[in-house]
Every structure is written in structure tokens, then in C-alpha cells.
Amino acid sequence: MKLIRIFLSFLLILGLSFTLAAPTWAFCGFYVAKADSKLYNQASQVAIARSGNRTVLTMANDYQGEVKDFAIVVPVPVVLQQEQVQVANPAIIERLDAFSAPRLVEYFDPDPCAPMWESDMSLAPAAPSAERAAVGQSSNQALGVTIESQFTVGEYDILILSARESRGLATWLTQNGYRIPRGANQLLQPYIRQGLKFFVAKVNLGEYESAGYQRLRPLQIQYESPRFMLPIRLGMVNASAAQDLIVYILSPEGQAEVTNYRTVKVPSDAEIPLFVEEKFGDFYQAMFNRSYEQEGKNVAFLEYAWDMAGCDPCSAEPLTPDEMRQAGVFWLSGESVANPWVRPVNVFLTRLHVRYTRDRFPEDLMFQATNNRSFFQGRYILRHPFTEEVSCEAGQRYQRQLPQQFEQQARTLARLTGWKLEEIRPQLPKIQIQSFSLWQWVWSALTGQWIG
């Protein structure tokens, strides 16, 4: 056991020798667990890669039910053609999630009686028949709906629609087999006034079954527009409770933020009791719920901001250049494309977590990219105490302050989550403080040596 501790101390010092040269961030912790999107039953995920006016939007499907009933209606700023739409690899969203998820990390306190290097240890998202199409065209004109484009991509039949008024569009969608919730026409009208088009997709059952897919793959669209936004209001029509949305924004600049609502950081860099390792998911949900309430239920939470050149600590390996291209990144340099081991610094990832309801989020999300390249991650620290026998006065002082340290961690946990202190305290570590005789203290004072 002693040898393992020495080895861990060596690793810690070795890590410091490299990280002290970093300009802004030195962590030196060990990754333990992450709080990814699986914590939330209805968490929608969207990845947005944007540079200039060009946007590549990847929408992950969390649809549960018969695929024949699946349909989505998404407002888009332009008429999309077939070459602007494709299906994406579901693993890309999973990789973005794993890489940017809030994380649990741990420190190991060294032997307080062993000499140490002085260092700063601060915790620094079937085409219709001709007869049916002719009938549909006549009905379309009456309802004020125009089919601007239609095609099939993978397992999806895609329509791009424009409309003169929302009631006609809602009627058209219902008549053509799209199940939209009651009251949707009220939310469609603002998009029509803005001149937006409607990206409509449903599953082509023949393609889906012949390909043998086990689940619906994400849809990815790309377009040019000065609008940097994400429509969320249509998703609130039939929602019975608050919905979670995780947005991964990839930019060549820096952090992205929401402009029409506040963007705030999740609480981070907090030491919490060791038992939380066994219930990190419960902890993070409780902490997020409490922060959501305290911030007024109408903010976007920043959970992660870092470039793709690395991470510290990493909850997953950074995406490779090929994976970044699959996520929509289109501005990679030639060196990054040619060498899969080069980690580009001009791909900055921002993870935003929005929990929204219709009354608290009356507007769609509007974003902007910034030049702020400071790093941030939601991370929570376990500090393992040194529990072996100590052989010096400093060791006993260290042991005596541990109960106070544990109490502070308990109070931090209670403050972050709302959990009761009287239920937290019994789960704290129990440390037996060693006692020493008077002659040991005297000998230590006279000689500078401790006799065990």
C-alpha cells in the first residue's frame, strides 16, 4: 500500500511538472465519472457547427414509439435542397456528449509526513403516386401551402414547405398524415410572419425496414443564413413538463452564448463528500434542479467550454478530425485533415444545457459566438484523505483538521443540492486520530526527528 501511495505521489508531481507550464489551467486530478445526457429521460440533443453565416445543424432523435408515427417539423431560414440534407452517425452525438459531460474527479492527499514540492494545488445537444400528388396540389393551393422541395434521404421522406398562414399549414399537415398536437397553429404563425420555411420529415418505412435499422439516425442539415438560432417553441406544444435540451456548439472562434436569455455557468470546482461517487447521477440532477430553481427557470447553463486540442481532465478522448467533420465542422485546416493525430485548436466546443417550459421561454434561442476562449467545465472533486499511520507532528495536525474538512464538504453538498445535513453527516468518513506520548513531542522538538 505504501508503494502505491508513493507511486501516486510521483504521478502527481510528474503531472505538475508538465501542467505548471500551461498558461491558464492546471488540474492534475483523476477522472472518475461523468453526468451525461442519459440522466434525463427526455433530453433532446442538437449539435450546431457554425462559422460566418454557414450552419450545419445535427438533430438527434430521442423519439420513443412506432417509427410509422414519427414526424418532425422544424422552421428553417431557407429552402433546402437534397444535397443540403443527410443522415448522420448517431455515435457523433454520443461522442460530443461523453467528451463534454460534467465530470467527477478525485485527488489523493499525500503523506503529510513526507517532503513535498511546493506548488499551487488550487482547484483551478414513399413518394406519393401521381394521382395523389395532383389531388394534393389542388388542396395545397386552397390552404396556402407550397411544396418548395421534396426528396428522400436515407430512411426519411423530406418536404420543404412554405405557407401563407398557420391554420392552413396545420390543416395540410394533418390531412397528409402528420400528427401534430392541438394548438400547434398558434406557434406556427410567428415563423410564417418571419418568412421561414418548414423542414418536414417522416420515416420512409420501406427504406427503414430494408436497411434493417434498429433506431432512427440523426438528421443533419446545412444552410447559409445570418440567423444563428434554434427553434424550440414547437416542441412545447404537447409538453406536460419541463424539457431538457443539450446544445453542442462548434465554432472556430470561442465560447457561444445565448443572447436573449442569460447564460450562466453551472456551479463547479466544489469539493464534495466521498460517498457521492456512488450516486453522482443523483447528485448532479439534484444540483442542476436547485440551480435551475435559483436562477428563475429561464437561463441557459454553460456546462463545458474547451477547444478540441485537449481536455483536463478528459472524460473521453477529444474527437478526431474525421469525427469533427461528421459533426459538421467544415473549416478544418489541411494539416488537420491530412493528419488524424493533429488536434485542431480552431474548433471550440460549447455545451449549453437548457431546461425550458412554454411560460419561461416564450422566444426561440438566439446565439452568438464570442472571442472568449477561456476554458470551463462542470467538475466536482472528491478528496481522498491520507488514512495510513502518520509519524510526525504535521501528520497529527493533518488528522485533526480532517473532521472540519469533511464538515465543510457536507455543507457544500447540502448547499448545492438541498439535501439535508443530518442525512449527509452519517455518510462521512470516520478517521481515528492517533495519540502520542509527551516524550515523543519533547524528542521531536529537541531533535527535529519523530520517534514512532
Q: What does the pLDDT look like over 91-107, one tens digit per residue? A: 999 999 999 999 999 99
Q: Is 406 a member of any domain? A: yes
- Give pLDDT, residue 309: 87
User: Which of 358, 383, 408 represents a domain boundary (last residue)?
Assistant: 383
Residues 97 and 204 in one domain: yes
What's the pLDDT band for 117 if we cut at 50, 70, 90? Answer: low
Q: Is 308 a member of any domain? A: yes
Q: What distance in Å separates the CA atoms of residue 183 and residue 161, rounded to the nearest whole number? A: 19
What integer is the mean pLDDT of 422-437? 78
Q: Is 323 a member of any domain? A: yes
Compare 67 and 222 and report the one with higher pLDDT.
222
Q: Is 241 a member of any domain? A: yes
Percentage of residues of the chain with pLDDT beyond 70: 77
Contacts made by residues 140-148, CB under 8 angstroms, sequence distance 24+: 140/172, 142/168, 143/168, 143/169, 143/171, 143/172, 144/168, 144/169, 145/169, 145/172, 148/79, 148/197
- Give pLDDT, residue 337: 53
Residues 425 and 331 in one domain: no
Residues 19 and 156 in one domain: yes
Buried residues in 159-172 as b, exposed as e (16+ CB within 10 A): bbbbbebbebbbbb
Q: Is 452 a member of any domain? A: no
**Which triple of cell numbers denotes residue 226?**
445570418
With vertex at residue 342, the alpha carbon angle to CA 339 and CA 347, rounded to the nearest 5 degrees, is 120
User: Which of 352, 383, 414 represents a domain boundary (last residue)?
Assistant: 383
Q: What distance in Å separates the CA atoms of residue 350 and residue 110, rounded to the nearest whole number? A: 35
Residues 19 and 151 in one domain: yes
Res. 201: pLDDT tops 50: yes
Residues 429 and 335 in one domain: no
Residues 54 and 172 in one domain: yes
Residue 384 CB neighbours (<10 A): 13
Residues 212 and 81 in one domain: yes
Q: Could you tell me which residues are beta bridge partners of residue 264?
A: 301
- Per-chain mean pLDDT for the chain: 81
Res. 282: pLDDT tops 60: yes
What's the pLDDT band for 131 if we cut at 50, 70, 90? Answer: very low
Res. 6: pLDDT tops 60: no
What integer is the mean pLDDT of 180-196? 83
Residues 297 and 390 in one domain: no
With vertex at residue 156, the alpha carbon angle to CA 99 and CA 128, rounded to the nearest 5 degrees, is 170
Residues 394 and 277 in one domain: no
Q: Is 336 a member of any domain? A: yes
Q: Is 233 a member of any domain? A: yes
Query: Cβ contacts of residue 407 below 8 Å, gap of 6+?
Result: 425, 428
Res. 167: pLDDT tops 90: no
Residues 400 and 379 in one domain: no
Residues 245 and 280 in one domain: yes
User: Which of 366, 383, 400 represents a domain boundary (last residue)?
Assistant: 383
Q: What is the span of the domain harbouring residue 441?
A: 386-447
Q: What distance in Å separates the CA atoms of residue 205 and residue 211, rounded to the nearest whole number? A: 10
Q: What distance in Å separates the CA atoms of residue 417 and residue 395, rounded to the nearest whole number? A: 33
Compare 450 and 84 and report the one with higher pLDDT.
84
Res. 247: pLDDT tops 90: yes
Classify the phi-psi angles of 445: left when phi > 0, otherwise alpha if psi is within -120 to 50, otherwise beta: alpha
Residues 371 and 234 in one domain: yes
Overall domain count for the chain:
2
Compare 436 and 121 and report the one with higher pLDDT.
436
Res. 19: pLDDT tops 50: no
